[in-house]
Amino acid sequence: MASKKVSTPLTPAVLHILIALSTKERHGYGIMKQVETDSRGKVKMGPGTLYGSVGRMIDAGLIRESDKKIDPEMDDERRVYYKITAAGEKALAAELERYRDVVALAGHYG
């Protein structure tokens, strides 16, 4: 499938998912838990938001489906894992750089 253009700035959901996947591949529930931890419980994503964003991110080439495998910390159901791509890492780096610029600018006025 042809990659769709990534709209910038990234939506909060997309940014949080990219951050969650930047350290290791995760399944849907794992992404949700990591986002909750990263945001100290402030961002709580439901399945509708998560998989809607995941679908768009796969289409945009930011992440891809990895293997389907069993999570040893959970039950014996096989789960689809998602992995960040090089384009995803690039988009995340660019977004974090943008945030740094905004914070620096805010520091000027603060």
Partner 1 sequence: MASPDDNSIARYRHWYSRLLRLYPHHFRARFAFAMGQTFADLCRERAGTGRGLIGLVMWMFVETSAGILKETTMSIVTHNKRLIVILLGIAFVLLLPAVAMRFTDAVTWTPFDFLVAGGLLLTAGLTFEFFARRGGSTAYRVFVGVAIATLLFVVWLELAVGIFGSPWAGT
Residues that bind partner 1 (CB under 8 A): 27-29, 32, 46-52, 54-55, 74, 77, 79-80
Residues with Cβ within 8 Å of 105's Cβ and at least 6 positions away in sequence, in order, are none
Q: Which is nearer to partner 1, 80 or 105 (CB)?
A: 80
Measured from the CB atom, the residue of 77 and 110 that comes closer to partner 1 is 77
Residue 79 phi/psi, 5-degree rounding, is -120, 150
Identify any residues that bridge with 68 across adjacent strands, giving them in sequence order: 80
* Closer Cβ to partner 1, 73 or 110, answer by number: 73
Q: Shortest distance, CB of residue 46 to partner 1, whole angstroms?
A: 3
